[in-house]
Amino acid sequence: MANFPALLKTGAVAQYPLTRVTSAVTESVRFLDGSRQTYPLNGTGLRRWELNLELLDEAELSAVIAFAEEIGSGTFAFTNPVTGESAAKCVLAGAELGTMLLDELRGGTTLGIEEVK
């Protein structure tokens, strides 16, 4: 399985601000006496990161595009840039990768990364 590479020349995976979200899927059962019990369906919540990459040069932007083309809709391992823990099975979120290049050192993109089970 592929690993998410450090796409920036600094060796960092992300830039700030970094958006992180954890979602949990639950099910709720209502009993005849009116009481309710709620429980998680998948154990721990699934995580999602949104990497806003700005002020990229052409080489960094090309590395982002190459990774997105290489991985396609496949899975890869992603290391959480904040905690350092690894999510073993992740995908790129969204149907398209939007990038912009204003001049040599002013490119940008937003990558959505979702953990899947």
- For the beta carbon of residue 18, count every other beta carbon within 10 angstroms: 14
pLDDT at 80: 83
Please, what is the average pLDDT of the chain?
81
What are the domain boundaries of the chain? 2-115
pLDDT at 50 over 80: yes
Average pLDDT for 70-99? 83
pLDDT at 61 over 90: no
- 7-13 long-range contacts (CB < 8 A, ≥24 apart) are 7/53, 7/60, 7/63, 7/64, 7/67, 8/53, 8/56, 8/60, 9/57, 9/59, 9/60, 12/81, 13/51, 13/79, 13/81
Q: How far is CA 54 from CA 17, 61, 106, in A?
A: 11, 10, 7
**What is d(CA 64, CA 110) in angstroms, rounded to the nearest whole number?**
10
Paired with 90 in beta bridges are 76, 115
Tell me the pTM.
0.65
pLDDT at 35 over 90: yes
Average pLDDT for 103-116? 84
Higher pLDDT, 18 or 66: 66
pLDDT at 4 over 80: no
Does residue 101 sit in helix, strand or coil? strand
Higher pLDDT, 114 or 45: 114
pLDDT at 30: 92
